[in-house]
Amino acid sequence: MVEKIRCLIVDDDDMSRKMLEMLVLQVKSLQLVASCNNPLQAREVLTSQPIDLLFLDMEMPDLSGLDLLKSLNSYPEVIIASAKEQYALQAFDFEVTDYLLKPVVLDRFLKAVDRVEKRLAQEKDSYTTPESVFVKANNQIVGIRLSDITWIEAYGDYVNIYTEKDRFIVHSTMKGIENKMPRDQFIRVHRSFIVRFDRIQAIEDTVVIIGKKLIPIGESYRPELMRRLNLL
Which CATH entry fits the domain spanning 127-230: 3.40.50.300, 1.20.140.10, 3.90.380.10, 2.40.50.1020? 2.40.50.1020
Whether domain 5-123 has CATH 3.40.50.2300: the reply is yes
Q: Residue-wise pLDDT tens for the chain (232 aa)? A: 458 999 999 999 999 999 999 999 999 999 999 999 999 999 999 989 999 999 999 999 888 999 999 888 778 999 999 999 998 988 888 889 999 999 999 999 999 999 999 888 776 655 567 789 888 887 788 899 999 999 999 987 789 999 999 999 988 888 888 888 888 899 999 989 999 999 999 999 899 999 999 999 988 788 888 888 874 4
DSSP state of 7: E
Rounded distance, CA 219 to CA 122, Å?
28
d(CA 140, CA 219): 36
| Dist CA 172 CA 159 (whole Å) | 6
Task: For the chain, give every domain's residue range.
Answer: 5-123, 127-230
Q: Tell me which amino acid residue 156 is.
A: G
CB atoms within 10 A of CB 104: 17
Exposure on the CB side of residue 167, measured as CA atoms within 13 A: 8
